[in-house]
């Protein structure tokens, strides 16, 4: 009889203790609910998130792209934006080593660079979809082009965001970052010159 009373006593104590804990413990509002996504609210994380444009925020064709467009990366991995060349005409030439017509166009574009001068025109050559090693190996087989601004787009995402899927491709931006011309395979370089002349003061 004493044994049963003792067991009942401890059972009641355990039950009452469980009820008390469940009543006095409230969830911490700063902690995410179970199964909810964890959001990093640190100042660094929030600042980074504010710098990222949402998908569809920037219209690519015929819109004001200044400060929005990533053209590619330097060999050191630094991103270069269209706004890096503000107040200048910018010709962006997309190329790859497998494109037979691309390298001759690189040379033609560099002639334009020499002809118009860097204070007024910047020619940027963006390698599309190849690794840094592939680009460097290819360039070793070519004569070095003086004053060549070369960027890489290893994933191809920056180029494709501008609607570039076929090579060669050239896009002309004016001094405010507005797209003013888009040229595909077989275009007339003289037409590009005429367009440049109309945009230069």
Residue 109 in contact with residue 145, Cβ under 8 Å? no
- Residue 179 lies inside a defined structural domain of this protein: yes
Residue of 189, 179, 200, 154 lying closest to 82 (CA atoms)? 179
Structural domain boundaries, residue 151:
63-199
Identify how many contiguous H helices and E strands the chain contains and give both numbers.
Answer: 6, 7
- Residue 86 lies inside a defined structural domain of this protein: yes
Q: pTM of the prediction?
A: 0.66
Q: What is the pLDDT along the chain (201 residues), one digit of tens a residue?
A: 444 455 544 554 555 544 444 444 444 444 444 443 333 333 322 332 333 222 222 223 323 344 568 899 998 888 899 988 888 999 999 999 999 999 999 999 999 999 999 889 999 999 999 999 999 999 999 987 777 899 999 999 999 999 999 999 999 999 999 999 999 887 888 999 999 999 998
Residue of 186, 175, 187, 189 lying closest to 109 (CA atoms)? 189
CATH of the domain at 85: 3.40.30.10
- Residue 172 lies inside a defined structural domain of this protein: yes
User: Please, what sign has the CA dihedral across residues 115, 151, 191, 100?
Assistant: positive
Q: How many CB atoms lie within 10 A of CB 80?
A: 18
Residue of 171, 106, 91, 183 lying closest to 138 (CA atoms)? 106
Total domain count, the chain:
1
Residue 168 in contact with residue 93, Cβ under 8 Å? yes
- Tally the residues of the chain: 201
């Amino acid at each position: 009889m004493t044994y049963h009373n003792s067991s009942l006593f401890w059972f009641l104590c355990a039950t009452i203790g469980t009820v008390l804990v469940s009543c006095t413990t409230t969830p911490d509002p700063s902690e995410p609910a179970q199964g909810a996504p964890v959001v990093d609210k640190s100042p660094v994380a929030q600042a980074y998130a504010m710098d990222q444009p949402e998908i569809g925020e920037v219209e690519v064709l015929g819109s004001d792209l200044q400060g929005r467009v990533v053209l590619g990366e330097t060999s050191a991995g630094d991103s270069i934006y269209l706004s890096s060349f503000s107040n200048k005409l910018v010709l962006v030439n997309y190329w790859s080593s497998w494109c037979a017509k691309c390298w001759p166009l690189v040379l033609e574009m560099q002639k334009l660079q020499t002809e118009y001068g860097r204070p007024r025109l910047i020619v940027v050559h963006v390698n599309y979809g190849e690794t840094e090693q592939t680009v460097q190996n290819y360039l070793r087989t070519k004569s070095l082009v003086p004053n060549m601004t070369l960027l890489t787009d290893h994933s191809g995402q920056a180029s494709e965001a501008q609607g570039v899927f076929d090579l060669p491709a050239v896009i002309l931006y004016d001094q405010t970052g507005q797209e003013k011309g888009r040229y595909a395979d077989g275009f007339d370089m003289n037409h590009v010159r005429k367009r440049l002349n109309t945009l230069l003061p």
